[in-house]
Structure 1
Amino acid sequence: MSKQTTPPFILVDGSSYLFRAFHGLPPLTNSKGQDTGAIYGVINMLKSLLKQYQPTHIAVVFDAKGKTFRDEMYAEYKANRPPMPQELGSQIAPLHEIIRAMGLPIIIEEGVEADDVIGTLAKQASEAGINTLISTGDKDMAQLVNEHVTLINTMTNQLMDIAGVNEKFGVPPELIIDFLALKGDKVDNIPGVPGVGDKSAQAMLNGIGGISAIYNNLDKLAELSFRGSKTMAAKMQEYEEQARISYQLATIKTDVELSVRPDDLKPATADNTKLAALYTEYEFKRWLQEVSSETSAQEMEDAAPASSPSVDIDHSKYEVIFSEAALDRWIEKLKQAPLWAFDTETTSLNYKDAELVGMSFCTGPGEAAYLPVAHDYMDAPEQLSRDLVLEKFKPLLENNEAKKIGQHLKYDKHVLANYDIKLNGIAFDTMLESYVLNSTATRHDMDSLALAYLSHQTVKFEDIAGKGAKQLTFNQIEIDKAAPYAAEDAEVTFLLHQVLWEKLEQVEPLKKLLLDIEMPVANVLARMEQLGVRIDSQQLNQQSQDLAKRIMELEKQVHEEAGEEFNLGSTKQLQQILFEKNALPVIKKTPKGAPSTSEEVLQELALDYPIPKLIMEYRGLTKLKNTYTDKLPKMIDHRSGRVHTSYHQAVAATGRLSSTDPNLQNIPIRTEEGRRVRQAFVPRKGFKIVAADYSQIELRIMAHLSNDKGLLTAFSEGIDIHSATAAEVFGVKLEEVTTNQRRNAKAINFGLIYGMSAFGLARQLNIPRGEAQEYMDLYFARYPGVRTYMDEARESAKEKGYVETVFGRRLYLPDIKASNGARRKGAERAAINAPMQGTAADIIKLAMIAVDEWIEKEAQEDVFMMMQVHDELVFEIKEQNIEKHSRQIQQLMERAATLSVPLDVEVGVGNNWDEAH
C-alpha cells in the first residue's frame, strides 16, 4: 500500500463478511434460542479492522433484497445459489442495528450489488487521490485494485495490492474482469467459456490481451503454449455470446448514482446506551463489559468467553537473549518467580521430529524474553549454543517446585524429552483451562483464546513464515521477526492464565476437574505417546495386497450391476447411476438440491438394493486400506521401531479423548478386516497384550443418573442388562429371553441413550414405526426413572444452558433454544447423552491416572500402558506376571469412581490386540 499520512478510507463488504461469518464459524445462539453466530463474527471482524486502522472515513456496504440489473441481463445469474437459510436471514436486521449503533455508516442500494456501490465509491476516492482499503473476501473485487485501492482479506488479514493481484491470479487488475469472464464462476453462475481454466485464461490474456483483443486476434491463439491452444479459436467463436455476457456480469459498476460521496462517510460517536441494550439482548458479554460498567454479576456468568478489556501488549519491551550473562540473569529471575510461562519454538509440529530452535518465557505482563538457540539462515546473529542452554536450563525445567504455565505443554514436554530433559512442575495449561471452563465457547488454540479472552489479535505464524509450500520453518526465520512472535506467545499464555484461572476458581468442581483430572492425565498421555505401539508391518502389507484385490473385485461387481463402467469415487457419476439410470428412491438431498450419496443414505438403500450395498463395502475397504494398512507401516519411527499417535484432550466437547496420526479410535471392530488390522498391534518379546474394557459403562452411568430401580437392581445383581430389558419390555421370564429379543432390547437400551426416535429404532430393527413406538412406551413404563431423567435433563439444559457430568464437567449446549428445529432437537439429544459420555470420559481418565501411578511405583519394568481407545485401556505386560498385574489393573479401573452401581471391567490377554479384546 502506498504511504499515507492519514488513515485510509475503508469500504467494508458487509455481505462478504456476513456469509463468511455464517459459514466459517460454529453456530451460536443466545439463551432465547436466537441465532447470533453471524452477528458475532461480523462485529468481531469489524472491531478488529477498526482497531487496526482507526479510519477517518468508512462505510459498511450490504446487498439489498431483490433482483439487480444482472438478473435482468441474464436470468440464470446466481441461480445455483440456494435460498438464504432462515438462521442467517434472522440475523441481518439486528446486525444492521448494532453496526449503526457503533456509529458506522451503512449503505444498501436497491437494484445493484454491494460490489457496485464499493466500486463506485472506490473510483470516486481514487480520482480524489484518497487511498482506499476494501475489506472483502470476494475475488471479483481484485478488478478495483490500483495505485490508490488495496484489498484486505476479511479472514486472513492479508493485503493485496497490484503486485498481489498479479501473484494470486496471474494477471494484472485491469484483466481480472476478462479472467473471470473466460473462466466463469460456478458460485455466481457466470457461464464463461467451457474448458477454459486458470492456466489457459492466463496464457490468452497475457499473450494477447483482454477479451476484445482475443476476438480480434483469434488466429494467434494457436501460437500460444497452453494445453488446447490449437482448438481454442473454434471454442472461443462458438461461445462468443457467452463470453461477452460473462464479461458484463463480472464487471463491477463504478458509476452508481449514490446520495453520498467518500467525504460524507465518517464514523459517528457510538451510542453506548443502545449498544449495551443490544449486547445484553444478544448476550455478547465481553462487548457489554466494554460499553457498560453496570453489568450485573448474573449477566457476566462464565457461560461464554467474557474477557477483561483488551490487553496492551508491547513487543518493544521484549528481550532477546544472546549472552551467557543475560541467560544467567533470566535463569535467576525464573527461579525467583512464583509462576512463569514457558514455550518452545521448533522445526516441526511432529513431536518426534521436532528440533528445538528457541525458548520463550514470561514472568508477568510485559516481562518476556526469547532465547534463540538454532536459527540457521544466512547472517543469523551469534546465538548461544543449544547444548550450553539446555545444560544450564535442565535443572530448572526438571524442578518440580519451579511452577510453569504453558499452552498445550504436552507438546513442549515431548520436545524436551528428545534432549533427555523431563519437563516437571507443570502447574497450568491454558488450553486445558479454557477447555474445562467451556469446551464449546471457542477453539482452544492460542490465537482463538487471545481473541476471545484478551481481545488481542496475536501475531500469526503465517505472518512471519508465509504460507503453503514456501512456508519457512522456524529455524529459517530472522530473529527480529521470530523474537516478538515467540515472546508474545509466552506473555499471552501468562495473561490468559490470569483470566481463565480467576473464572475457574469461582466454580469449585471445574477447578477440581482441571487440577485432579485434566492436568494429571496430560502427563499420562505424554508417557503413552512417547512409548508408542509395536506394529507388524509385514502383516499389514499382506493385508493391503488382499484388500487391493477385493476392492478391484467389488469395483468390477458394481460395474456389472450398473451395466457400465464409472468412477466409484465420483459423487456426480454415482448420483447418475443410482438415481437417474436405476431410479432408486431419493432419501435425502444435498443443500444444493442434488440426491445425497452419504453413508447414511447408502446404508438405508443397501437394505433393498445391490449397488449401494457393494458401494458401502467398497468405501469401507478403501478407507481401511488408505488409512491403516497402507499408512501404518510408513508411520513406524525408525528410532523406536514403533508408531506414536497424538492424543487430544481439547477437541471433543464431552471430555472424550481423540487421537490422530494414526487415529486409533476409528479402527473398526465389527468387521473381519478391521479386526485383522488390530491383529497387527503386537507386543515386544516376552510380553503379551492386555486389553481392559469398561463393560456397558454408559448404561451403568444412566442407572446412576436416573436412579431407576429396575436398572439399579439389574446392575447390582449382575444380571445381563439387555436380557433384563428384553424380559421387561417383551413380558417374558428372564430365562426365556430369545437371542432376537435380547438384540432388540440392546438396540433400545443404546438407542435411548443417544436420543433415538421411534422412527430411528424402527429403521434399525427393520420393524414398523408403530411397533418401535410400542417398545419404547413399554421401556419407559418399566423404567420410569429413565424418562424422568431425560425430561429433567432437557429442562435443566434449557434453564442453565449446560448439563453436567457426575464430576461437575459442564457441557454447554448453545443450540438448546435454537429457532432451527433440527439444531434444537440435536441439543436436546445431547442434553441426555452428554452427561453419560462425559462421565465415562472422566472415569477412564481417573483410571489412567490411578493405573499410571501404580505402574510408576510398582511395575515400571513389567507394565506399559500403550493405548486408550473409547472405554478401553491397552497394555504390554511381561508374561510371567500377567495374571497378577491384570487383576491389579482391573481393580484399579473398577475403583476409579463410585457410582450407585458397580463398575465392571473385562480383561483379555493375547498375542495381539484383537486376541486380547
Structure 2
Amino acid sequence: MSDEKATASPKTLVLVDGSSYLYRAFHAMPDLRAVPGDPASPATGAIRGMINMMQALRKEVQADYAVCVFDAKGPTFRDALYPEYKANRSPMPDDLRGQIEPIHEVVGLLGWKVLAVPGVEADDVIGTLAVTAARQGVEVVISSGDKDLSQLVNEHITIIDTMNGKKRDVAGVTAEFGVPPALMIDYQTLVGDAVDNVPGVPKVGPKTAAKWLQEYGSLDALVARANEVKGAAGENLRQTLDWLPKGRELLTIKTDCDLAAYVAGLPSFEALTLAEQNNEALKTFGEQYGFKGLVKTLAAQAPAEAPPARKKADSGAPGLFDEPEPAAAAPVASHLKYDTVFTWEALEGWLRQLEAAELVALDTETTSLDEMRAEIVGISFSVVPGEAAYIPLAHNYPDVPAQLPRDEVLARLKPWLENPAKHKLGQHIKYDRHVFANHGIEVQGYAHDTMLQSYVLEVHKPHGLASLAERHLGRSGIQYEDLCGKGVHQISFSQVDIAKAAEYSCEDSDQTLDVHRVLWQRLEADEKLRGIYELEIASSEALYRIERNGVLIDAPTLAAQSHELGQRIVQLETEAYEIAGQPFNLSSPKQLGEIFFDKLGMPVVKKTATGARSTDEEVLEKLAEDYPLPAKLLEHRSLSKLKGTYTDKLAQLANPATGRVHTHYAQAVAVTGRLASNDPNLQNIPIRTPEGRRVREAFVAPAGSLIASADYSQIELRIMAHISSDEALLKAFHDGMDVHRATAAEVFGVAPDQVSSEQRRYAKVINFGLIYGMSSFGLAKNLGIETKAAAAYIDRYFQRFAGVKRYMDETKVSAKSRGYVETVFGRRLYLPEINSPNGPRRSGAERAAINAPMQGTAADLIKKSMVKVQQVLDAERRGTKMIMQVHDELVFEVPQAEVEWLKLEIPRLMAGVADLKVPLLAEVGVGENWDKAH
C-alpha cells in the first residue's frame, strides 16, 4: 500500500486546565519578583512556573491542536443555581491575581490558544471541546490534576497529570475510584465536593459510594431502592434524596457550551492549531517582567527553534525563562548515567569516587518507614549531577539477580560512613542515620540536608524531594507508589525489581545533589538564614540522639490507669443514661440531637452544612454551662481519648527489646520552627486534668537513675520584653519580679504587694492573651466579665506598656510590607494572608505576625539549648541522656551520681545560649518519674 493511501493517524487535541496549572505554579515556586528582593515589585513566580509547565507539557505530548483554558471573571450559572457554591473557598491571593493577565499573555506567545468563557467554568469549556473533538475521532489529552474531569474520560479522552505522572484513562479511573467514568457523576454526587462546598450524602465516603454503585448499578437505581439501604448510611441517604438532583446538576460538567464566539469554525479545530512561539514578543515580555536570561536564551536559538528533547527525568529543566539567578545550579546532564553495582570490582570503583569527592549525596532504601526498625534493602550515591550508583543488598523475589552480601558491603562502607571528614548530603538525614545505626554504623560527616534547606528558605512550601525537584529544577521522577503500590496491596521495597529500584534510588540521590546546589547557594548568600540552617542541622543531630535513647515506660502503671479510666468511663455512661432517661449511643450525633433538643429541650446552638442540628465539641462546651448531660459527654470523650491514645497504646508502642518508646520528632513541619512529635505524640499529653497528668507517671528511669525536667520560665513573655524593649517589662524581669504580679500592679494601679490573687490571675490571662492576639471579646469570655470591662483592661495595659503596643503596631506594618516576620535569630515566618482582602483571614495573619516571632524565637532557643547540652554531655562523657523535648522543656535520664551536677549545670547552659535584653531563666526538677520531676 502506498503512503498516500495509508490511513492517516488521528489528530490529537491537548486541553490544559489553566486554572489548575496557575495555582500549582503559584504554590510551587518561591516568591520571585520582577525586581529581585523588592516586595513592592510585581510577583513573577507563578508566571515562571506556568511557562516551565507549559514547555514541559509541549515536549512530553505531541499535539496538533492545543488550548489552555482558564476560569473567566464573574459568576457562573452554578452560582445562580446554588448561592453557597464555592462559598468556603479562600479568595485568590493578591500576588497571584496580579499575575493572571501576564500568564494569559505569555501562554499565547508560547503558541497556545487561550480561552476564558464568561458564565461557565474552565471545566465546562474543556468538557465541550473534549466531547466535540472525540465525536470527530480526534484523540483528546486533558492535562489537569482535577479528579472532577474524570467524568469525561472515554476511549478517546484521557487525563494526564504531569506533576505526578498519573494517567486517568478508562482503566485508570475505574482502578482509582472503583467505578467506571460513566458512573463518575453518580459517584461525585454521593460523595460531594467539599472544595466547591457541594454537599453529598453525610458520612458517605468514596468506599461506600463505590460499593453502592457497584451493587445498584447507578444513582437513579439506588435512589429508587433507597428504602433497602440499611444502617446510618441508608438513613442519611434517605434524608438527602431531595438534595441529590441539585447536587448532581452542580457537579456535572457541561459539554454543550456555546463557543462559537470564541473558537472560529467549530466543529472544525483548525483555529486551535498549536502555533510556533513568538520569540520577538517573548523577548519584550521577558524584559518587562525581569527574566534576565530570556533575551540571551532566545538569541542563542534560531527563530522559533525548539530546544532539544530531553529524557523524562530532565523534563523541563531548565525552562526558557529559568535564567540562572545567583542560586541556580548548572543544568543536569542530558544523558543520565545510573549504575547498578553487582560486583566487588564495581563497588571498589565507586568507593574510590566516594573517597575523592568533596560531597556525596546518599540515600537508603529500606523495609519500613519506622526508622528504629527499618533494615537496608539498597543504597545509592551521587557524586556529580546526572550520575549515580545503586547497590542492591536485600531484594527478595523469584529469580532475583545475585547481590553482594549486605553485611560485608556495609563493613566495607563503614570507615567512609563514619569518617567525619568525608562530607555527606541527604534528604531527611535523621531517618538515614537511624537506618545505618540499626546495622551498627554511626554515620559522621552529614553536612547538608535538602529538606532542612527548604524548611529554612521556604517554610510555607512542601519539603518533599519530588516537590523540591519540580520546584527548583523542573524535574519530575518516579514515585514510590509507582514501584510499590499503595494501601493493602503495597509491597515491600525488597520485592521491587532491581532495575526499577536502581533507577528510582539513583534518581533520588541525583536530584538531592542537584537541589542542594540550588538551595545552598541561596543560603550562603544570606547570613541570618544560613545561621538558622546550621542550627537545624545541629538540631537534627541532637534529635537523632534523643530519638535513639527513647524513654522507659512502666507498663504496669499504664495498665492500672487504663483500668481506672475504663471504670470511670462506664460510670459516666450510666450517669448519662440516667440523665437522659434512656440508654443511647454516646457517639451518635443523630441520637444526641434527639435527646438534647427533642426530649430535653436544649437550645440549638448551630447547624451543620446540611441543616442538621450540631452536637460537636463547641456545642457541647456551650451547653455544658447550663446542662449536666453535655458535661458528662465531654468528660466521657476526654477520658476515652486519653485511654485510647495513651494508657492503652503507649506500652504497645514500646520497643519489645528495650521497653522504651522512641518518638519521632518532625523538624520540617511547623512554620514557627517548633517540633512535632508522633508515634507517639508526647507533646499532646493533656496536663490540665489530673488524669492526664498521671500519664506522665509511667515515664520512668531505670534503677540507679532519675528523671529530670528543665524548662524555660515565662519564655515568651521574656522574648516579648526583648523584642518590644518595653521599659516596664524589662524592669520587671531585671528586678526578678513576678511578671504577672508586676503587670497587675500596673493595670490595676496598686502596689505589687497589694495585688490580690484574682488580680494576678487577670493579669496572667492578659499577658498571655495579648501575645496570642486575644480580642476584648476573647478576654471577656476567658475571664467571665463584660466585653466593655475587658476592653478597658486592654486599654489600661497598653497605656502602661506602651512599648508592647508600639511593637504590635510596627510589626503589622512591617509584615504587610515584607510578607514575613523574623525571629530574634533571623528565622523567617511567612504570612501569605497578611494583605488578604478577606477581613477575618487578614486579622488572623496580623495576630500571627505578632505571635510568630515569639513562638519562633522560643523554638530557636530550645533548639540552641538542646544542641549545647548534647555537646557538653558528649565532651564530658556524662552518663546523663536527653530523652525528650516537649515544647520549652528538655527531659533527661540522669544517673543519681550526676543529679547535683545537672541541677547546677543545665540551667546555666540553657540561660547562656543567647544574650537577650532580659535574663533567661531555666528551672530544673528531679523525680522518679516525669510527673514528679515537675
139 and 851 in structure 1: CA distance in 2 versus 1, 3 angstrom threshold: closer
Equivalent position of 1:383 in the other structure: 403
- From 532, 538, 550, give the equivalent of 2:568: 550
909 and 482 in structure 1: CA distance in 2 versus 1, 3 angstrom threshold: same
Q: Secondary structure at the match of 2:703?
A: coil
Equivalent position of 1:58 in the other structure: 66
2:328 touches 2:517 (CA, 8 Å); kept in 1?
no
Equivalent position of 2:104 in the other structure: 99
- From 656, 672, 680, give the equivalent of 1:654: 672
Equivalent position of 2:302 in the other structure: none
Partner Cα distance (1:242, 1:718) in 2: 65
Equivalent position of 1:674 in the other structure: 692
CA drift of 1:379 comes to: 2.1
Equivalent position of 1:444 in the other structure: 463
CA drift of 1:882 comes to: 1.4
Which residues of 2 match residues 118-197 of structure 1 at below 5 A?
118-136=126-144, 141-153=149-161, 156-170=164-178, 172-173=180-181, 197=209
Please state if 1:263 is matched with 2:270: yes
Give the fraction of aligned pairs with identical amino acids, expressed as a percent: 49
858 and 197 in structure 1: CA distance in 2 versus 1, 3 angstrom threshold: closer
Which residues of 2 match residues 775-794 of structure 1 at below 5 A?
775-794=793-812
487 and 724 in structure 1: CA distance in 2 versus 1, 3 angstrom threshold: same
Please state if 1:525 is matched with 2:537: no
Letter in 1 for 2:389: A
Equivalent position of 1:298 in the other structure: none
2:40 touches 2:817 (CA, 8 Å); kept in 1?
no
CA drift of 1:845 comes to: 1.3
- From 211, 215, 219, give the equivalent of 1:203: 215
Letter in 2 for 1:381: P
- From 839, 842, 846, give the equivalent of 2:860: 842
Partner Cα distance (2:400, 2:11) in 1: 35
1:534 touches 1:642 (CA, 8 Å); kept in 2?
yes
Q: Which moved more, 1:816-825 or 1:568-577?
A: 568-577
2:385 touches 2:513 (CA, 8 Å); kept in 1?
yes
874 and 834 in structure 1: CA distance in 2 versus 1, 3 angstrom threshold: same
Q: Which moved more, 1:680-689 or 1:896-905?
A: 896-905
Equivalent position of 1:302 in the other structure: none
CA drift of 1:274 comes to: 8.5
Letter in 2 for 1:405: L
Partner Cα distance (2:242, 2:805) in 1: 66
1:78 touches 1:188 (CA, 8 Å); kept in 2?
no
CA drift of 1:832 comes to: 1.8
CA drift of 1:766 comes to: 0.9
Letter in 2 for 1:445: G
Please state if 1:890 is matched with 2:907: yes
Partner Cα distance (2:581, 2:478) in 1: 57
Q: Secondary structure at the match of 1:756?
A: coil
CA drift of 1:109 comes to: 4.9
1:125 touches 1:131 (CA, 8 Å); kept in 2?
yes
Partner Cα distance (1:237, 1:398) in 2: 65
Partner Cα distance (2:197, 2:737) in 1: 62
Partner Cα distance (1:193, 1:605) in 2: 24
Equivalent position of 2:340 in the other structure: 320
Partner Cα distance (2:30, 2:142) in 1: 27
Partner Cα distance (1:240, 1:799) in 2: 51
Q: Which moved more, 1:772-781 or 1:741-750?
A: 772-781
Equivalent position of 2:896 in the other structure: 879
1:29 touches 1:814 (CA, 8 Å); kept in 2?
no
Letter in 1 for 2:928: N
Q: Deviations over 1:625-651 (max 9, x none)?
A: 222112111101112221000112211
Runs of 5+ unmatched residues, structure 1: 230-235, 295-304
Equivalent position of 1:373 in the other structure: 393
Equivalent position of 2:745 in the other structure: 727
Count of aligned positions: 877
Partner Cα distance (1:840, 1:28) in 2: 26
2:10 touches 2:138 (CA, 8 Å); kept in 1?
no
CA drift of 1:904 comes to: 1.3
2:16 touches 2:68 (CA, 8 Å); kept in 1?
yes
Q: Which moved more, 1:376-385 or 1:307-316?
A: 307-316
Q: Secondary structure at the match of 1:914?
A: coil
831 and 137 in structure 1: CA distance in 2 versus 1, 3 angstrom threshold: closer
Q: Which moved more, 1:239-248 or 1:599-608?
A: 239-248
- From 644, 649, 673, give the equivalent of 1:626: 644
190 and 350 in structure 1: CA distance in 2 versus 1, 3 angstrom threshold: closer
2:106 touches 2:285 (CA, 8 Å); kept in 1?
no
Partner Cα distance (1:292, 1:638) in 2: 64
Equivalent position of 1:300 in the other structure: none
Partner Cα distance (1:601, 1:29) in 2: 44
Equivalent position of 1:299 in the other structure: none
2:697 touches 2:929 (CA, 8 Å); kept in 1?
yes
Q: Deviations over 1:79-114 (max 9, x none)?
A: 763437471498679536523431132444567665
CA drift of 1:675 comes to: 0.7
Q: Secondary structure at the match of 1:688?
A: strand
Letter in 2 for 1:415: V
CA drift of 1:308 comes to: 3.5
Equivalent position of 2:718 in the other structure: 700
CA drift of 1:467 comes to: 2.1
Partner Cα distance (1:240, 1:682) in 2: 56
696 and 211 in structure 1: CA distance in 2 versus 1, 3 angstrom threshold: closer
CA drift of 1:750 comes to: 0.9
Letter in 1 for 2:157: V
Letter in 1 for 2:514: L
Equivalent position of 2:885 in the other structure: 868
Equivalent position of 1:81 in the other structure: 85
Equivalent position of 1:467 in the other structure: 486
Equivalent position of 2:530 in the other structure: 511
2:485 touches 2:491 (CA, 8 Å); kept in 1?
yes
CA drift of 1:444 comes to: 1.6
599 and 155 in structure 1: CA distance in 2 versus 1, 3 angstrom threshold: farther
Letter in 2 for 1:750: F
Partner Cα distance (1:531, 1:894) in 2: 25
- From 660, 685, 708, give the equivalent of 2:703: 685
Which residues of 2 match residues 8-23 of structure 1 at below 5 A?
8-14=12-18
Q: Secondary structure at the match of 1:402?
A: coil
744 and 255 in structure 1: CA distance in 2 versus 1, 3 angstrom threshold: closer
Letter in 2 for 1:685: A
Partner Cα distance (1:265, 1:439) in 2: 41
Partner Cα distance (1:734, 1:239) in 2: 63
Partner Cα distance (2:133, 2:663) in 1: 55
CA drift of 1:421 comes to: 0.4
674 and 25 in structure 1: CA distance in 2 versus 1, 3 angstrom threshold: farther
Q: Secondary structure at the match of 2:468?
A: helix
720 and 181 in structure 1: CA distance in 2 versus 1, 3 angstrom threshold: closer
436 and 242 in structure 1: CA distance in 2 versus 1, 3 angstrom threshold: closer
Q: Secondary structure at the match of 1:670?
A: coil
CA drift of 1:358 comes to: 0.9
Q: Deviations over 1:498-551 (max 9, x none)?
A: 111111111112222322x22112111101101101111122122223223323
Please state if 1:494 is matched with 2:513: yes
Q: Deviations over 1:706-739 (max 9, x none)?
A: 2222222221221111111111111122112111
What is the TM-score when the length of structure 2 is the normalising length?
Answer: 0.83
Letter in 2 for 1:769: T
CA drift of 1:289 comes to: 6.1
Q: Which moved more, 1:604-613 or 1:322-331?
A: 604-613
1:123 touches 1:254 (CA, 8 Å); kept in 2?
yes
